[in-house]
Amino acid sequence: MSIQLSNTAEVDSWFWAKETSGIFTVKSAYKHLQLVKGEFPIVVERDGWNKLWQLHIPPKVHDFLWRSISGYLPTKAQLHTKHVYVDLMCPLCHMAVETIFHVLVDCRFARSCWNLSILSAATGVEQSFSSWFFSLLETKPATICLEAAMVSWGVWKARNVVF
């Protein structure tokens, strides 16, 4: 059995179907693999990102929010995905797995902080921090979003005090 060769004089070339340009990038391969695994952490919402960068907050808080929304905070659940095997339960409340959403919004400690702010974090259903924060950016005025950013930062700082 033989394969019939093409009679055209066209030159073969490589094409990466996951990019419109056809050019392979590590970034596009990583994104594709995360989507295939169902674990792509970044919510691709241009308006949300633009609103986030327009908030008048310190650069370190912008960086913190970028890490939080992108799924890069070193919570126990995130460490577990990197094969760092630790007890997954939240060390403050011992009620749930320590995810980014739990740490910043849903933990008893976080809720007590949110209850002191303008924006009470009545959550109900576990969701991702990215969808929760982007929803705030979409539906609330900038002053509320600014406070949400600073409360999130404060909760993270308070949980990670090193003596």
pLDDT for residue 25? 83
- Whether 46 shows a pLDDT value over 60: the answer reads yes
Mean of pLDDT values over 139-143: 91
Per residue in 85-123, pLDDT tens? Answer: 889 999 999 999 999 999 999 999 999 999 998 887 655
Whether residue 73 has pLDDT greater than 80? yes
Report the pLDDT value the prediction gives residue 130, as an integer from 0 to 100: 87
Six-digit token pair at 108? 């008893």
Mean pLDDT over 125-146 rounds to 86
Q: What is the pLDDT of residue 31?
A: 74
Considering only residues 17 and 144, tell me which one the structure prediction assigns the higher pLDDT.
144
Q: Which of 86-95, 100-109, 124-133, 146-155 has the lowest mean pLDDT?
A: 124-133
pLDDT for position 90: 93
Let me know how many helices (H) and strands (E) the chain has, helices first: 8, 0
Rounded CA-CA distance 61/6 in Å is: 58
Total count of residues recorded for the chain: 163
Q: Please tell me the predicted confidence (pLDDT) of residue 123.
A: 52
Residue 30 has pLDDT above 90, yes or no: no
Give the pLDDT band (50/70/90) at residue 157. very high
pLDDT value of position 82: 83
